[in-house]
Amino acid sequence: MATLILNADASPVSLLPLSTISWEEAIRYLVSDKATVLEWHEDWIVRSEKWSTPVPAVMILKEYQKKKNTVRFSKLNVFLRDGYACQYCGEEVTNKTATLDHVLPVSHGGKTTFENCVCACSKCNASKGNNKKIVPKMKPYKPSYFQLAEKRKRMDWHLAHPSWSNYLV
């Protein structure tokens, strides 16, 4: 179980990945007075010898944390940029079926960058192989943080607590 951590402006600290902390860290934030609890896990209480408390489900930081506006390269960010669709056949893929394909294969000097990698289904990736003449439907590009964040907002979220949906608008 995790705790959603919000910035002082009540928005998630990060959407890529979603800003969550472990329940142990949430208790540390609570005890050290770094954050205020907005929602609790009603059915989950942690106890020590002299103290007990429900586990926080959503917390808001007392001090504003500057948001990142850069995007690091990762497979999941490439899949998100491409909308979880194969860039060769257009088939929709999932995290489990998506593969990362180098447009210019590594064996031909291709780099692992946003500008050279696309989301592909395993069938298209295997049939393309080492061929550098097969190109994706859209030219790959480096997305901005805000482009990826907007795409992420439109996708379904795994909510560890029902109250999270109130803060992920």
pLDDT digits (tens, 9 = 90+) for 95-133: 899 999 999 999 999 999 999 999 999 999 999 989 988
What pLDDT does residue 128 have?
92
Q: Is the domain of 133 the same as that of 160?
A: no
Q: Is the domain of 63 the same as that of 93?
A: no
Instruction: Establish if 149 belongs to a structural domain.
Output: no
Query: Is residue 99 within 8 Å of residue 45, measured between CB atoms?
Result: no
Question: What's the token pair of residue 10?
Answer: 């009540």
Name the residue among 77, 104, 82 with its Cα closest to residue 93. Answer: 82
Structurally, the chain folds into a number of domains equal to 2
Q: Is the domain of 14 the same as that of 63?
A: yes
147-158 pLDDT per residue, tens: 998 898 888 887
Rounded Cα distance, 169 and 135, in Å: 36
Q: Is the domain of 61 the same as that of 84?
A: no
What pLDDT does residue 67 have?
82
What pLDDT does residue 83 have?
94
Rounded Cα distance, 25 and 165, in Å: 21
Question: What's the token pair of residue 148?
Answer: 């990826």
Q: Residue 168: pLDDT above 90?
A: no
Instruction: Establish if 93 belongs to a structural domain.
Output: yes
User: Is 1 or 165 the better-scoring residue by pLDDT?
Assistant: 165
Q: Per-residue confidence at 70, pLDDT binned at 50, 70, 90?
A: confident
Rounded Cα distance, 64 and 9, in Å: 7
Q: Residue 1: pLDDT above 80?
A: no
Q: Is the domain of 41 the same as that of 92?
A: no
71-84 pLDDT per residue, tens: 999 999 999 999 99
Rounded Cα distance, 144 and 42, in Å: 38
Rounded Cα distance, 58 and 164, in Å: 7
Rounded Cα distance, 36 and 26, in Å: 10
pTM given for the model: 0.78
Rounded Cα distance, 134 and 103, in Å: 8
Query: Is residue 168 within 8 Å of residue 93, measured between CB atoms?
Result: no
